[in-house]
Structure 1
């Protein structure tokens, strides 16, 4: 009778050996490649805020995340969807602030769109301008 000893560091599946396959020494290795099945949305999505709101026309857009982001676009549009202002950066740090001045605009509600390509994330915020 031949003795077969297996040393496995993790159980991955089953190994079937017939009597004809038994040899004096049987060497094999089992490798498991880890794979990413998903990411938590909170790990990649930045927190975007606009303050003060309501504003006299001058306000800050703040983007905080866990990593640097590529190709951010900040766009301000009217209720009719017209683009009032658009800024683009090549790369921003994980803690980024941008001062915007819309004091020349009339009182009203405007939308601040922040799109970050590297994270495929977009956020729309409303800001009220009241002089």
Structure 2
């Protein structure tokens, strides 16, 4: 292997239920962050250390989309449905076909509406989702 790796953002695919996300922002368009503390440690006065492993595998996912993305309508509908009857959750799958990274959760939901800004040019909108227990694989 010669160590060459090629990343192509067009090969990053995200599905929210049966909806394929489109209209990504120009720069950072997906951010996946662990909600839990992972592994923490505490050291007592005598120098003994205990580690605690948080079994929580929930994540926060941020999608940054261009103003005209059809995904805004999908997410708004899911958010409104959640507010109405609590049935707004959906499965999520994010797959980087070039880097072999895969993120998935059976349940995800919109936490709140994105900040709405207006300016001389079309503004991006950032949606924040949270998941139930999730799986994040990097090969």
TM-score (norm 2): 0.30
Higher relative contact order (CA 8 A, sep 6+): 2
Higher-Rg structure is: 1
The TM-score normalised by the length of structure 1 is 0.32
